[in-house]
Amino acid sequence: MASYWSKIEALASGGGGASSASGSSGAGVMVPGAGTKREHLYKILVIGELGTGKTSIIKRYVHQFFSQHYRATIGVDFALKVINWDADTIIRLQLWDIAGQERFGNMTRVYYKEAVGAFIVFDVTRSATFESVVKWKVDLDSKVQLPDGSPIPCVLLANKCDQQKEGIVNNPTKMEEYCKEKGFAGWYETSAKENINIEEAARFLVTKILKNDRLTGVDPSKDSERFALDGSGSGMNGNGVRGGNGRQEGKSCAC
Ligand SMILES: Nc1nc2c(ncn2[C@@H]2O[C@H](COP(=O)(O)OP(=O)(O)OP(=O)(O)O)[C@@H](O)[C@H]2O)c(=O)[nH]1
Ligand SMILES: [Mg+2]
């Protein structure tokens, strides 16, 4: 298993662990024939209890791949998703897949640094994983904030919705109230297995992040400087948020 630092080095040099290719980073990169493109690099955390499906969600989102086989993540893993957001904008999402077994440990402070958005994942078949959501949220908010001191936008993912659901997740009104009360930007039922709502949830989170970028007046050309790792390179072909799968089984709140 590669160490945290070797993964960091791999990503910084364009390896990216889960995805890699050559490319350029930073804002205002000239793309031949396409004029000047604005590029944003955003660090996104994916956290939550053991076995809730964090790695599976990322693998589905980045590689369109799912496996029933469970191999616990050790420490942290990374993936890079490139989104052709619109004609003028490319968004690189640096996804930090943090092991459930890290559970609010000291390393999470290091992992959370400079993140601008997060997903907290629970497993709809195990209500105990929902009960821990609030601990993850409190831990997150205590360790990372936006430059203006406000919490980073966080979306709650009720994963494995292809299976029998247990508890509050069966009551969307209560889920919406919960999200409002706990400061979630919204929630989605997702299934990494059936590819339900993952693209939608990512699009929603990115929209919130872009809004914050505008509000805080952060110069997008500084994006690449906000990270120790640059977002150079991606194996993705921009099949991301704009190409939704058209499935709307999951629910989301606008809280
Ligand atoms: N039915 C179903 N199974 C899923 C889904 N997502 C993940 N799984 C399964 O749940 C198990 C755990 O998934 P992982 O993605 O490894 O979970 P994780 O949150 O990354 O776990 P840690 O790395 O230990 O924190 C695996 O066996 C997956 O195949 C889903 O949407 N539906
Ligand atoms: Mg994992």
Q: Does residue 129 line the site of ligand 1, with CB under 6 A?
A: no
Q: Which uninterrupted H or E stretch holds 27?
A: none
Low-confidence ranges of the chain (pLDDT < 50): 1-6, 8-33, 219-255
Residues in Cβ contact with 141 at an 8 Å cutoff, skipping those fewer than 6 apart: 151, 183
Q: Does residue 65 line the site of ligand 1, with CB under 6 A?
A: no
* Distance of CA 71 from the midpoint of ligand 2 (Å): 7
Which pLDDT score is estimated for 102? 86
236 residue type, one letter: M
CB atoms within 10 A of CB 166: 15
Which pLDDT score is estimated for 216? 67
Please state the pTM of the whole predicted model.
Answer: 0.80
Whose atoms come closest to the Cα of 57: which ligand? 1
Which pLDDT score is estimated for 128? 96
Quote the crossing angle between the two packed helices 198-216 and 54-63, to the nearest 10°: 90
Question: Which ligand 1 atom is at minimum distance from the Cα of 97?
Answer: 20
Which pLDDT score is estimated for 59? 98
d(CA 21, CA 161): 33
